[in-house]
Each structure stands twice: as structure tokens, then as C-alpha cells.
Amino acid sequence: MSLPTNFLWGGATAANQTEGAFDKASRGRSNMDFVPSGPLRDEIIVNGVADFTDQSGLYYPSRKAIDMYHHYEEDIALFAEMGFSVYRLSISWSRIFPNGDEKEPNEEGLKFYQQVFETCQNYNIEPLVTISHFECPAHLIEHYGSWANKKMIDFYLNYCNTLFTRFKGLVKYWITFNEINMILHAPYMATGIRIADEENKNQAIYQAAHHQLIASAKATKLAKEIDSNNQIGCMLAAGDTYGYTCAPEDVWAAKLADRENYFFTDVQVRGYYPSYFKKRLEREKIELDFSENVLDLLSNHTVDFIGFSYYSSSLISADPAIQETTEGNLFPTLNNPYLKSSEWGWLIDPLGLRITMNSLYDRYQKPLFIVENGLGANDVVEPDGMINDDYRIDYLREHIKMMIAAVDEDGVDLMGYTSWGPIDLVSASSGELSKRYGFIYVDQNNEGTGSNERKKKKSFEWYKQVIKTNGAVL
């Protein structure tokens, strides 16, 4: 079993789930600053009813997170100790443009990321930067309706221009939007849009997605103009859908479900709206701008690589009587009797990763990058201070085995692997700190009253060895 010698190993985080310091250094307010933990959360991230007036009594986990803003040197040093050659992180748009529509950026924000990237550089860690990871300045939501509005393309481009120019030479791997297809499941969290009425939901979603796809193509163009070394990726929440039975109706239902996701990558990788989707637009009377310059843009500025997250496969049935679904996921799927699930009800399917990698590579024949994969679990600190997360090691081992098989036996071209949350962070779906993913434990909790002290878990040494042996010792 072998991986290429230049294979990139590391971990992935997002600004709103780690940084905290939401009001430091002239940072503006952002969509996730107003999403509390607890029962209100689901409603807000899905239907977009965040209240931008401060509600005392509620706890907003993104505001404090794990205070990586003040701990990044220590954290990156720990990543380096594990041997990371890549660190995927996102930039908080509202640190750079506090309102989002200014012409000039906030120097304090730029300086912060400059220091972060220089720290990475000192350890020979390649940053992989997500330009927008579930992040939108609150001002753009309040005053423009976020991505529902075409003007967002220019605001986003101005932000990209600032990043590409300022970080030229420090960053070469970029992802335009995190899990662009998550707009289907959590429109507010993913993009800041609010779905006003169910009837026009798809028009609203695909209009906003269309703006993001145009913005992504424009950003790709700009990135290359500023530095031809730049490598741009799209990013998809992936995971193949299986039919519940071999009934052709179930197989067909699974194919249709996968298309919902592939639509986004079809545009970003192939450069045009696929025929099946154009038919759907006609059927649903969804109107989008397909002027010649938009079509040219999409076709001339496709991405260099396909970033994707993989947590599990999905299961679908055409029979409405089959209804038993998993829990704790933003997009519940049918329970698969062949699979176990995590404490949060997410199905665990390592072979599904190999299947998904093959589906993506068969379809696109472009380099893939696994930019998220991991297990969210309740970790226990033993009286001796140890955190024995063998379940996490098992999860990752089985997934990495399948990843290597896809490369080694199936010939998939894979650039790298960044596990999700190498350090504990705020869960996007639940807002909980107790849903931990890290190799590094953070003394922080669901109420935000912890000390933020960092501690290595058992998986820390395990992952270090995996990286050192390029996946040979698992």
C-alpha cells in the first residue's frame, strides 16, 4: 500500500468554529455570531431567522469558540508536532471587511491572518484556505439579503482580490466555498440567505447558488491572474446515496438524490449547467441569468481540484412506508441496518468513502482532496488526565485504509487528507463543544466556561505515526 510521497496530510478547521474573539480587532458581526446553541439552533440555521439584536440569556458558541484567535501559535505548533504538511482553515470575512461592502479592508484583520500564515510557513505547513466557510457579514444579510442579491458577487470578489493580493506567496491552495451544496439543507448557516416562503424555496436556493457559482468562477479567474501558482478547489459535502433495496425505483431515487449534490460540482468542474438540471429549471419555472458572459465565465474558469467532506453515505427508499431515519444530522437519512452510527447518529461507513471517491473520480477525472472526515464523540478525561479515544483511532484507521485502497488499487488521483477538527471545536450543526473531533482536547464546554487549556489525546501520537509513515502504519 502506498501513497504519493508529496501527499498532503493535515487537519481542517473553520474560523467561526475556532477563533472566538468575535468583537476583537474591529471585526464586524457575522451570520454565525447570532446562532445560539440549544433548541432554537436548528430552526435558525435552516430557516434563517437569526435576530441581529443581542439576546441576553442565550449562549452563542461561535463568539467564544476555543479562542484560537489567541492560541493559534500554540495550536499550529501542535499540528507541526503531528507532522502536518497542510492545514485547512478559513478566513472570517468580517475580520477583513467588517460590513462586507467597504472598499478598503481592515488592516488588523489582514495582519492576524498574515501572522497565522507566517507561523504555518515557519513549520513548512501549506495553508489550504477556505474563503467562505459558513460565513457572511451580518451587514450584507441585513442590507442586501446576502447571496439572494447579485451584488454579493462584487463584494465577494473584492474580498478575494484583497486575499489573493495580500497573501500571494504565502497561500497557494484556495477553496471558494465550503460545502456549497449545504445551501440545500441549512441555507442560513451556509450562505446567510433567509427562506421567506416554502413555495418559492427552490427559486431562492438556486438563485443564491447561481450567484455563488458565478462568484466562484470569477474568483478562480482572478486567483490565476494574480498568481499563476494558485490552485483553486470547489468543496462538496459528499457521500454516495444507496438505494434501500434493489428495486429499480430505489436505485433511481438514489441516483436522483446524488444528482442534487453533483449539480454543484458539475458546474464548477465541467463548466456548464448539466442537461438534467436545465430540464428541472424548466419544470420548476426557476429563472436564472444564462447570458453569454455568464456561460463563458463558467466554462472558462473551472476549478483545479475537487475538495470534499465525507462523514457517511446516505440511504433512500422510494417507498414512503420506510421511514426510520437517523438522528442528529441536518439531513437525516434512512437507517442502514448494515452500519453502526456515532453517538450523534451519523452512520459510519468507511467503504462508503472508497465508493464516493470512485464516483467522483469516474465522473470528473480531476484531482480530489479529502478536506474533512472525522468522528464527533463525547471524550472523557480520565483521572490520570489521559483521553483514550480509541474509537476515534478506529474510525480514522478504517477510513484511511479505504482512502489508500482508492488510490492504490483504483487509481484515484488524491492530493491530500485533512481530518476534520484536529483540535476540538464548536460543532456546526449542534453548536456543542461536547461533540469533539480533535487529536487535541480543549478544556471548553457547551456553556463556554472552560479554561481553553489544550491537551493531547491518545489519537495524537497515533496520527503522528500515520503521517510519519505516509499511511503505512495505521
Q: Provide the binding-site residues for ligand BGP, judged by CB under 6 A.
A: 14, 17, 178-179, 237, 309, 372, 376, 420, 427-430, 435
Q: How far apart are CA 391 and CA 380, in angstroms?
A: 12
Smallest separation, CB 377 to ligand BGP (Å)? 10
Q: How far apart are CA 394 and CA 430, in angstroms?
A: 24
Which DSSP symbol is given to 66? T
CA angle 98, 104, 106 (to 5 degrees): 45
Q: What are the cell numbers at 147?
A: 447571496
Smallest separation, CB 190 to ligand BGP (Å)? 9
Q: How far apart are CA 452 and CA 443, in angstroms?
A: 5
Smallest separation, CB 282 to ligand BGP (Å)? 31
Residue 407 or 428: the one with the smaller Cβ distance to ligand BGP is 428
Question: What interhelical angle do 350-364 and 248-265 show, nearest 10?
Answer: 60
Smallest separation, CB 61 to ligand BGP (Å)? 11
250 CB burial (10 A radius; 0-12, 13-18, 19+) = buried
The β-bridge partners of 455 are 441
* Residue 159 dihedral angles phi and psi, to the nearest 5°: -60, -50
Which DSSP symbol is given to 125? P
372 is catalytic: yes
Smallest separation, CB 445 to ligand BGP (Å)? 16
> What are the residue ranges of helices labelled H in 303-452?
350-364, 390-408
H or E stretch covering 416: strand 414-420
Smallest separation, CB 419 to ligand BGP (Å)? 11
Smallest separation, CB 385 to ligand BGP (Å)? 26
Residue 82 or 189: the one with the smaller Cβ distance to ligand BGP is 189
Q: Exactly one of 108, 372, 409, 447 is catalytic; which is it?
A: 372
Residue 17 or 317: the one with the smaller Cβ distance to ligand BGP is 17
Residue 177 or 244: the one with the smaller Cβ distance to ligand BGP is 177
Residue 134 or 155: the one with the smaller Cβ distance to ligand BGP is 134
Residue 34 or 244: the one with the smaller Cβ distance to ligand BGP is 34
Q: How far apart are CA 128 and CA 233, in angstroms?
A: 10
Residue 250 or 372: the one with the smaller Cβ distance to ligand BGP is 372
CA dihedral (125, 131, 135, 139) in degrees, to 10, reads 130
User: For residue 191, what are the contacts with CB-CB under 8 A and spacing of at least 6?
Assistant: 136, 146, 147, 183, 208, 212
The string of DSSP codes covering 253-321 is HHHHHHHHHHHHHIIIIISS--HHHHHHHHHHT------HHHHHHHHH---SEEEEEES--EEE-S-TT
Residue 217 or 433: the one with the smaller Cβ distance to ligand BGP is 433
Q: How far apart are CA 60 and CA 46, in angstroms?
A: 16
Smallest separation, CB 437 to ligand BGP (Å)? 7
Which amino acids are annotated catalytic? 372
